[in-house]
């Protein structure tokens, strides 16, 4: 199964370059429903909402709860869902 997520340019580019190895989502009912007790093979990240937006497929390596790494999370400082990222393939 594939997880689809939208990213801003900064995070999209960091993952593309292999600099960012985790993606974070808040621990809220919406993300709990989408992430917990699901089995994903990969993630398709899209840069923004444009119909011709850049996309990449990234290996899904697991999920845990942790405090985000500041360089990879913006303002997030609370425990979040951390999605471990693997191999990147631009689409």
Element (H, E) at 62: strand 55-66
* pLDDT, mean over the chain: 94
Yes or no: say if 25 and 35 are a contact pair by the CB < 8 Å rule. yes
**Which tens digits make up the pLDDT trace of 32-69?**
999 999 999 999 999 999 999 999 999 999 999 999 98
Residue 86 CA to residue 77 CA, distance in Å, equals 23
pLDDT in tens, 24-34: 999 999 999 99
Domains of the chain: 2-90 (2.30.130.30)
């Amino acid at each position: 199964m594939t997880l689809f997520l939208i990213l801003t340019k900064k995070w999209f580019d960091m993952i593309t370059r292999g600099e960012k190895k985790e993606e974070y989502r808040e621990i809220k009912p919406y993300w709990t429903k989408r992430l917990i007790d699901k089995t994903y093979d990969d993630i398709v990240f899209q840069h923004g909402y444009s119909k011709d937006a850049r996309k990449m497929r990234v290996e899904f390596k697991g999920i845990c709860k942790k405090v985000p790494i500041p360089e990879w999370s913006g303002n997030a400082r609370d425990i979040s869902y951390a999605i471990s990222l693997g191999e990147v393939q631009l689409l």
